[in-house]
Structure 1
Amino acid sequence: MKSNSKTKIFVNIGLLALFIGVIIYVMDNSLSDIFAQLLETSWLVVVLVVLFGVAYQIVEGRSIKEIASHFQEDFSTKDGFFTSCYVAFYRIVSFGTGTLLSEIYFYKKKGLAVSQGVGVTALHMIMYKVAVIFLSVLGLIFQFSLFYERAPKMIPFILVGVVLTFLIIFSLLVLSSSINLQILLITWANKLFKRKRLRDWVDKCNLQIYSLRETVQTIIKDRSALLRIFGWNVGKLLFWYVIPYVVLVENHPNIDFLLVVSFTSFAVILSGVFPTPAGIGPFEFVYLLLFKPLVGTVDAVSSLLLYRFGSFVLPFLIGFVFVVVEKRRQIKSELQAVREDKQSMIDD
């Protein structure tokens, strides 16, 4: 017990030191431009960006709660809020590789089975992408004439983005809900794998997939819940999409609100399909491609940096505080366990 507690203490301290090191590296190399832009921006705009960024996380927390509470009644909007920030933190420190695993792990800590956590994560992703498609199509419909006038060559790319995103949603739904596909995959796996260890692994995966399918089916059957989750996802995206307008309207008072929101939604959906030059993120490239002709290079870059702060850096910072507090609590608990072990040895 004593040795185990000491090991946990060293592991948690080591992880905390690693996190801080990665954060210093990321801030120095990737986020320095964002913080420099914050210092050059009026305090009112910064406050509004922070408010919209936090509002997104609150609404995101509510949308997660609507899904996760089907399996854990005590799961609250606050838990959903910190789920989002926790995932945002690990998205950065793991350079994107630990995003899905961190979300599933958070649900496990809240009492959900792993298969339920996978199901909640899958449906969370699906509903987010449905909302992205909805707002992009809506923007294309209402701003088609203006968009056709300004960037007609990008309309096919938007349509391709919508189709590809729809295919991703369809694939996730099929994988998580079709028992016929599950039977087909298991039959194929049993023919391919002949060793007992591999067949046992296939059987274990089969049980997990079955549990995942049951999880997704449980939520999909509740149509009113699906509508609520969809509504929360649309609402949360609007809080992000309005950030560029808040930043740009100060220097461009006549800029069209719906056009800015539409352009931002196009950048989100195009970022997955648009070819980009090396060293430039797909979202950044598409965003600047759309906004530079509208407001000029300087203001487009400024709005992009502040959008990234509200949507990317702010939840990461909240997640960092949450992880530090959590690790501190774990270290204190383990130190207490070591003290109790020592005291019991003295008493003996």
Structure 2
Amino acid sequence: MKINAKTKFILNILALVLIFGIMFYLIKNSLADILAELKETSLLVLAGVVFLGIAYQFFEGWSIRSIVTGFSKKFRIFDGMLTAFHVAFYRVITFGMGTLISEVNYYNRKGLKVSQGMGVAALHMIMYKGAILTYAIFALIIQFSLFYEHAPKMIPLILLGMLMTGVIISFFLVISLSLKLQVGFVTLCHRFLKTQKMRDLVDRCNIQIYSLRETVSSVLTDRTALVKIYLLNVIKLGMWYLIPYICLVDNHPNVDFLLVFSLISFTLVLAGVLPSPAGIGAFEFVYLFLFSPLVGTVDAVSSMLLYRFASYVLPFLLGFVGVLVDRKNALSNELEELKAERNE
């Protein structure tokens, strides 16, 4: 059923009101502590945090562009950055549920097929997790003797975090590349689904999965591009990993750079493994658990809030600007359609 211009206009207005409502709720509750911390932060430290946050988004955009370029030569680094902002906004506004959908939808708006968008998103996740695993391995090698002496029980947890990250990478690769899994999925569905309608649905899904496998395979076969994408992910993650040191060194000039760098790499690995206690986010819990003994709870909380600003709030706010521009353009187009309908 075709939706007329008036209905689309009303739906866009309602969507805009809903977005502003959720934004107000988030700023008043979830983001209040982070925004309050910004007021207490020196301009020099804040400038460093913002610079590193933007630098991460630049390398993120470059990485996305390097993956997409096989399907769209017009896709620029700036488009990759806009993709990251768009995804960051919907990750927050949908409380994580709309992350993948928003990413694939943005690629689709840029001319990619859904299967190609899924392939880009899958490889994007694989490379990001690969960079996390890389840093964690090197950090454990560097800090192994220190942890073995002072916190030996942490070593199995860190190893478990690495293992789980490796499992996630393997899962995405298997889903994206395994022809046997695809054939098994179709065979199993056809065995239990008896209606033609359901079998047709499975066949349509199978075509998408096949296209996804071809998409990922086409990118993975270009070794030079693959190494480039991997290195861009390592560099971009390094931008975030520098933030805690930038935040702590002013009050703790003797803090060890490699130790701080290692602790934040362990935080990202462990945050994906440990459950969230008493409603506290897993990342926040692990960060405070690792950093508080080093610099004290007050400075650990301060640096954590600034880290969350650069990695969570800043791209979200930039994404919000992009969404407002999109909504403004959509409303302008629908007003033009309304005028055209009334003149007919």
- State the match for 1:91 in structure 2: 91
Distance of 2:294 and 2:3 partners within structure 1: 63
Letter in 1 for 2:205: C
Say whether 1:301 aligns with 2:301. yes
Deviation at 1:258? 1.2
- State the match for 1:242 in structure 2: 242
Distance of 2:150 and 2:341 partners within structure 1: 72
- State the match for 1:125 in structure 2: 125
Correspondence list, 1:186-205, <5 A: 186-205=186-205
Distance of 2:87 and 2:16 partners within structure 1: 16
Distance of 2:298 and 2:126 partners within structure 1: 35
- State the match for 1:51 in structure 2: 51
Deviation at 1:109? 0.2
Q: TM-score, normalised by structure 1?
A: 0.97
Correspondence list, 1:272-287, <5 A: 272-287=272-287
Letter in 2 for 1:125: M
Distance of 2:241 and 2:215 partners within structure 1: 31
The gaps in structure 2 that reach 5 residues or longer are none
Deviations 1:73-127 (A, max 9, x none): 1111111101011000001110110000000000000000001001100110011
Distance of 2:292 and 2:282 partners within structure 1: 15
Deviations 1:217-246 (A, max 9, x none): 000000111100000000110100111100
- State the match for 2:318 in structure 1: 318
Deviations 1:312-343 (A, max 9, x none): 00000000000001100111111122223333
Distance of 1:152 and 1:288 partners within structure 2: 18
Say whether 1:159 aligns with 2:159. yes
Q: 3-state SS of the aligned residue for 1:278?
A: helix
RMSD value over aligned CA atoms? Answer: 1.3
Deviation at 1:203? 0.5
- State the match for 1:82 in structure 2: 82
Deviation at 1:12? 1.1
| 1:3/1:223 CA distance change after superposition, 3 Å | closer
Distance of 1:72 and 1:5 partners within structure 2: 31
Deviations 1:9-49 (A, max 9, x none): 11111111100100100111101000111101111111111
Distance of 2:74 and 2:147 partners within structure 1: 46
Deviation at 1:167? 1.0
The number of equivalent residue pairs is: 344
Distance of 1:219 and 1:251 partners within structure 2: 46
Q: TM-score, normalised by structure 2?
A: 0.98
Letter in 1 for 2:310: G
Distance of 1:276 and 1:342 partners within structure 2: 55
Letter in 2 for 1:284: E
- State the match for 1:5 in structure 2: 5
Distance of 1:307 and 1:148 partners within structure 2: 27
Identity of aligned residues (%): 55
Distance of 1:31 and 1:308 partners within structure 2: 9
Letter in 2 for 1:53: G
Correspondence list, 1:171-190, <5 A: 171-190=171-190
Answer with 6-15 or 229-238: which moved more: 6-15
Distance of 2:106 and 2:25 partners within structure 1: 25
Letter in 2 for 1:236: K
Letter in 2 for 1:58: F
Distance of 1:4 and 1:73 partners within structure 2: 34
Say whether 1:25 aligns with 2:25. yes
Distance of 1:147 and 1:68 partners within structure 2: 41
